Chain A
Amino acid sequence: MRLLLVEDEPNIARPVKRALEAQGHQVHHAPDLTTARELLMELEPDLMILDVRLPESEDGGFILAKEARSAGYKGPILFMTARDALADRVMGLDEGGDDYVVKPFDLPELLARVRALLRRVSEVKQSRVQYGPLELDLTDRSVRWEGRVVELSPREYALLERLALFPGRVYSPEELLDLIWGDEASDTGVVKVCVHHLRSKLVNSVVRTVPGGYRLGVEP
């Protein structure tokens, strides 16, 4: 998934970004409101993680959430805040937030909340998905085929997960490249290679090639 992280403290942004990337997400980091606004326009992220207090304003995160909502952003918004006063939390949720973590939080908590929010986006409502012989555990990012654990690389998993979360949807190679590799690759060749690896590790029909791109090949 494509995430926008807005946080002015580099020592907080760095570990969060890394942990989310390790989960196969594409994380774009903005240290302030101005950068965040630009990124929001060009990225169209699946989820936003916003620090409330930003250099420009005490309520920077709330302001950005409001702007994003009025600009038509529909994805989940997760606030990170040191202000745990009830009024602040209510305000955050009223401004279009979906959830918040109160500083100091730990990584597992943040990751769990991000997962929960992303499940809402996808058509899958639980942390385990099963389509016939294919089983995905979204929490520990493991894949089983007919009960056997299959080792996948982070990219392979991310691609499979994307297809599994939106079964039936057709993704073009360009879309997958953008969603999973972000700025790290520019050639759709990597997508083809990745699909090839998936088919060889699982079964050919797990990813189906259809007009316009790829979709999940196993049926529930």
Chain B
Amino acid sequence: MSLRLRLALFIAVAIAGALLVQGFLGYASFERLQMGGLEQQLDAYLGRIVDQLEGRRGPPRMFRRDRDSENRSPGAGLPSLIERMGSDNAPLLPLPNPAPPGTIAHARLLREGVVLQEWGSFPPEIPIATQPQARLEQNWLYRSVRLRPGVYLQGAIEASQVRASLVGYQQTVLFTALAVAFLGALAAWLVSGPALRPLRHLQEATRQIADSGDLSLRVPTEGSGELLHLSQTFNQMLERLSAFRQRETEFTRNAAHELRTPLTAIRLQLDSQKQGLSTPEETLSVVQEEVERMTHLSESLLTLAREGRGQRVGLDLAQLALEVAQSAGVPYQGPERLEISGDPILLRQALENLIGNAQKYAPGAAVRVELESLPDRALVLLRVRDEGPGMPPEVLQRAAEPFYRAPGVRVPGHGLGLSVVAQVARAHGGKLVLRPNQPQGLLAELWIKRA
């Protein structure tokens, strides 16, 4: 069910509920009013009949249920009329039916369930009863008055008009509740359309994006408040996602590209040998060189793909730096022991890359490895300095991007070395800083958290 429909239904139900409650309360008071009037008329009518029975003239007496009719029997002062008709079954005098004007009313005199006398033709659907409360039976309101023990006067007054107006009232309440609820729902439907349009557009746009996977699409930013905010946030998310995907695609493409070069070389070399254009020795050395290159490339790619999530073990970084420096034939300067927790394989790879870079891009220039600990900041700085030509500022900025190769550089490589170093630094809660060295050359600083 759509939000719009739900909203419309909710409004409809709320309106209908409110109107029904209000209608019910109104109905209850209306019914009391109507029934009260009818009961008064019935009481007046019964009073007149009792007056007739007592042979009185005068204002009609009223019977009230709240008075104790047992103690103050209305027929207390009757002459022996009732006595007589009860005992000898003599026919009663026909008495007029004093129904109030504009109403139809009947009455009958009962003694122990036997009708003694009727005023008017008493409706047959009303049971012989002696309860003093007024009751509604079909179109009649009836009650009884106890004249003396065992003798009751039962009166019934026609209530069809009252009933009709009550039913009319009920129908009116019900109908207006339904009609207004429907109108409310319609209004809600119409109003919520434009209000929810941004949401619909957002939904369409998101579906389109989900179906096509095209992250360059944007959702329309419209409406106001939360919806506007949602669209904007959604677009920001798309921006980031598409940038991320672009980077990833770029990376993958570069990786494939880098792999294709050695593969091409090997393939051509093999073809060349097949055609007798090169010696087996030459082919072997080319294949070896290219396989070496691919191995190095795949190592770097793996490090980058793992995002440097290495293990963390306790290790002596000073020892590690000294070993790598010595095997590369460069001087090491720093403490003899420096315990940190990190990944020895990644750290070794990073340091080898830095030294390798320095030797490659600054051939013949002096290269130094330095290690320094900053205890107050829980940081360790591993530096590789060279006194080669250094890097121009724009290259310094981009040097750590994967596959970035400075324009005009003729050194073999795949442009992943420094990005691997940067990745390793990040994995150890630090970063790679590249700066010009004084007086000249490049200073690469690997910042590492001690723990």
Contacts and interface: CB of A to CB of B under 8 A. Distances in A.
Interface in A13-67: 14-16, 18-19, 22, 31-32, 53, 55-57
A9 interface: yes
B265 A11 contact: yes
B410 A82 contact: no
B272 A19 contact: yes
B271 A12 contact: no
A150 interface: no
B410 A104 contact: no
Interface in A153-186: none
B290 A108 contact: no
A140 interface: no
B286 interface: yes
Interface in B413-427: none
B267 A106 contact: yes
Interface of B: 253, 256-257, 260-265, 267-269, 271-272, 275, 277-278, 286, 289-290, 405, 407-410
B261 A106 contact: no
B407 A57 contact: yes
Interface of A is mostly: loop
Contact of A107 (B253, B261, B272, B286): B272
A15 B272 contact: yes
Nearest to B263: A104
Contacts, number: 70
A55 B267 CA distance: 22
Contact of A11 (B253, B260, B269, B407): B269
B271 A19 contact: yes
A106 B408 contact: no
A11 B290 contact: yes
A83 B257 contact: yes
Contacts of B290: 11
B265 to A, nearest CB: 4
Contact of A103 (B260, B289, B410): B260
B286 to A, nearest CB: 5
B408 A103 contact: no
Interface in A99-130: 103-108
A9 B286 CA distance: 12
B257 A107 contact: no
A104 B209 CA distance: 35
A16 B268 contact: yes
Contacts of A82: 256-257, 260-261, 264
A8 B256 CA distance: 18
B392 to A, nearest CB: 15
A141 B264 CA distance: 26
Given A32-B410, A55-B408, A15 B271 contact: yes
Contact of A12 (B265, B278, B289): B265
A190 B271 CA distance: 32
A43 to B, nearest CB: 22
A102 to B, nearest CB: 8
A9 B261 contact: yes
Given A53-B257, A108-B271, A103 B407 contact: no
Nearest to A105: B264
19 contacts: A11-B286, A12-B261, A15-B265, A15-B278, A18-B277, A19-B272, A22-B275, A31-B410, A55-B408, A56-B407, A83-B257, A103-B264, A104-B263, A104-B267, A106-B267, A106-B268, A107-B268, A107-B275, A108-B271
B288 to A, nearest CB: 11
B7 to A, nearest CB: 47
Contacts of B289: 11
A16 B264 CA distance: 11
A103 B409 CA distance: 22
A108 B268 CA distance: 9
Q: Most chain-B CB neighbours within 10 Å: which of A9, A32, A57?
A: A9
Contact of A56 (B267, B275, B408): B408
Given A55-B410, A106-B267, A15 B261 contact: no
Interface in A132-150: none
